[in-house]
Structure 1
Amino acid sequence: MSLLQRIAHCHRHNLSRFLPFAVGGRQVGHMRNDLAQELRRFPSVFRVEKGSVSIAEHLDSFDYRTAAIDSVMRELRQEGYIRGWRDELFTVASDYGAEPLFDLERAGVPLFGVKAYGVHLNGYVRRDGEIWLWVGKRAANRPIEPGKLDHLVAGGLPSGVKPFDNLLKEASEEASIPKELARRARPCGALRYRMELDGCLRDDTLFVYDLELPADFVPKNHDGEIADFRLLPLHEVERLLAETDDFKFNVGLVIIDFLIRHAYLTPDRADYSEIALALSRQP
């Protein structure tokens, strides 16, 4: 898998396999067809019509929608339809910063195909003028991509939490980075992708941060999500991205962006413009 192929993998989807999902006349997601059929059993909450799914009109506030949808989700969970329940709510809106429409259990987000957000931290050190990147290996019990390589710190953005506050929390839990050190992280933009994974549609935006760490810093995991850490030179990181499937699917996007911004990849490379432009494409 080349770097270009890794980027393309995160944009692979076919919307004809999904139904538009709307709230108050605004499309906010793309729902799995099988989930839409399940939701026909709940006409007081969902309107399932030919070619679309929407929230019932009488659920006209954030609180009403959240409570009604949560009740349905919990029933589907008991029936075994929804797996990987997190007891963590994500806010659903038409766009980032737009009016919140309802909160949704994280496990249901890809089923509804709504926009979700996360934070990813490139934690790196300098050795003899070269950059080395800290990489984590996901625990074997993770519901998504177990055992794959991941960032030093990464996590989804729960309801009511600001990105930087979430980064500080995840930095402490996942890598034991003290707050005074984690606060030095620099925001470096955002990356968006839309892809099919396990029959669901993921429409995700990742807020990207860089943090240069002391040479003697050694991360330690506290929340059980990371099995171990390793410090790798960028040429080895690139090799793993380009030649193996070792990295979690979306981590590649963030690392390739890092390689460009830190001038590891330069315009002297034949596929540089294709790689740089592919990162900025819209889903």
Structure 2
Amino acid sequence: MESCRVHGGLAPLPVGGGVFLRPPIAAFRRNLRHGACAMAVGGRIAWDDVLELSSDGGRVSDLAGYFERVRCCNRGSENKDEFLPFLVEEQTVGYIHPSFVDQLKSFSDVFILKPGNDKGSRNATFITLHPLLRSSEERTMAVGDVIKAMGSRIPGIRNELYPVSSSFGQPAFFSLERAAAPYFGIKAYGVHMNGYVEKEDKRYLWIAKRSNNKPTYPGMLDHLVAGGLPHGISCKENIIKECQEEAGIPESISRRAVPVGAVSYVDIDGPRYKRDVLFCYDIRLPQEFVPKNEDGEVESFKLVPVEKVASIIRQGEFFKPNCALVIIDFLFRHGYVCPDDAGYLELLQLLRSGASS
């Protein structure tokens, strides 16, 4: 395990390239000071910008910046009582904002708004599926038709189905288009992997830069591999698939990925209620291995000392927000954050602010 007090580091090793318009560093610092999160901050990110930031980031154990990253994934808790429960077979599977419920009312053959028993509570009212939709297949098809009919009101359609259940591993009541998940407030799961290299007694992380053509968080930084967990595939199968597609990691290597826990968060933004659980993996890669993207979703990779990655995360919103949480968890597990650091236990707990089921 690394020492709890590691400083310095070698210069990053570049792989890939590209020319970008560089936003001023000062603009990112201003956004950070005013509490802006990546969800709301525009502009393209260039490698030179993040490496410049990483050169003056202070101590790895200064946790204030990590708390800010966690906060950016856990917004809007004061608004959660506005949402109506979404029930299937008397089990709560999600939460839907009244403005979105109003749009669903026109699909009365699929969705029904029902009063509960507690007449004095706003949330006595809940939304459920029509009782004639009895099987998972019928529900999936009917809800899918609604999503298609809503068109641009649900942007970023992926044609990828997420299971809808009361908790992880339980039978799915139906499957839902991935892009619609936050509008229905269902629990969504993903697999995220940190890939690291050890050489000359130092540890490095492979960092990816997202394609500028990605519909979400274009051009931002990621850890090596990540993907949502669709219906009908196990976590292990999914991490192997994503390793091949996103980083060109062959199965002979990706099978060495080790499950190391999970992080979770709840993010409420307008009518969107995200309840995400990310299963975390680590993989130690051979020094000679160089990742190569195969699905067009990653523009370039760099091998960066862990201390510099930590500094980048502390100083600004350069990483896709939930990926920052996974890397912070890596810093805990590998001894870069220690019990003597002020706020250690609180930060550790906040990394699992969301669902644990």
How would you bin the TM-score normalised by the shorter chain? Answer: over 0.9
1:172 counterpart = 2:235: no
How far apart are residue 10 of structure 1 and its match?
A: 1.7
Q: Distance in 1 between matches of 2:304 and 2:269?
A: 28
Within the candidate set 70, 85, 94, 1:20 is matched to 85
| Stretch deviating more after TM superposition (116-125 or 26-35) | 26-35
Unaligned 5+ segments in structure 1 are none
| Cα displacement string for residues 181-208 of structure 1 (whole angstroms, at most 9, x for unaligned residues) | 0000000011111112464111111111
| Stretch deviating more after TM superposition (147-156 or 198-207) | 198-207
Q: Distance in 2 between matches of 1:224 and 1:24?
A: 40
Q: Distance in 2 between matches of 1:246 and 1:119?
A: 20
Matches within 5 A, 1:176-195: 176-195=248-267
| Cα displacement string for residues 112-132 of structure 1 (whole angstroms, at most 9, x for unaligned residues) | 110111000000001221211
Q: Contact conserved, 2:69 with 2:317, CA < 8 A, in 1?
A: no
Q: Distance in 2 between matches of 1:21 and 1:245?
A: 33
Q: Contact conserved, 1:39 with 1:48, CA < 8 A, in 2?
A: no
User: Partner residue of 1:84?
Assistant: 156
1:33 counterpart = 2:98: yes
Matches within 5 A, 1:63-212: 63-77=137-151, 80-197=152-269, 199-212=271-284
Quickly say closer, same or farther: Cα 1:281–1:106, change in 2 above 3 A: closer
User: Partner residue of 1:48?
Assistant: 113
Secondary structure class of the residue paired with 2:153: coil
Q: Distance in 2 between matches of 1:255 and 1:6?
A: 11
Matched residue type, 2:161: L
Matched residue type, 2:311: R
Secondary structure class of the residue paired with 2:321: coil
User: Partner residue of 1:233?
Assistant: 305
The alignment-based identity, stated in percent, is 42
| Stretch deviating more after TM superposition (5-14 or 31-40) | 5-14
Q: Contact conserved, 2:99 with 2:271, CA < 8 A, in 1?
A: no
User: Partner residue of 2:67?
Assistant: 4
| Cα displacement string for residues 8-32 of structure 1 (whole angstroms, at most 9, x for unaligned residues) | 2222232133221111221110113
Unaligned 5+ segments in structure 2 are 1-31, 33-64, 116-124
Of structures 1 and 2, the one scoring higher in RCO (CA 8 A, sep 6+) is: 2
Quickly say closer, same or farther: Cα 1:141–1:233, change in 2 above 3 A: same
Q: Distance in 1 between matches of 2:96 and 2:352?
A: 25
1:61 counterpart = 2:124: no
User: Partner residue of 1:223?
Assistant: 295
Matched residue type, 1:91: P
Matched residue type, 1:97: G
Matched residue type, 2:130: A
| Stretch deviating more after TM superposition (261-270 or 12-21) | 12-21
Q: Contact conserved, 2:277 with 2:354, CA < 8 A, in 1?
A: no
Matched residue type, 1:45: V
Q: Distance in 2 between matches of 1:91 and 1:281?
A: 22
| Cα displacement string for residues 146-186 of structure 1 (whole angstroms, at most 9, x for unaligned residues) | 11111110000111011110110110010000100000000
Matched residue type, 1:6: R
Q: Contact conserved, 2:75 with 2:269, CA < 8 A, in 1?
A: no
The 4+ residue runs of structure 1 with deviation greater than 6 A are none
1:269 counterpart = 2:341: yes
Matched residue type, 1:114: I
Q: Which has the larger radius of gyration?
A: 2
User: Partner residue of 2:44?
Assistant: none
Q: Normalising by structure 2, report the TM-score.
A: 0.76
Secondary structure class of the residue paired with 1:250: helix
Q: Distance in 2 between matches of 1:96 and 1:178?
A: 28
RMSD: 1.5
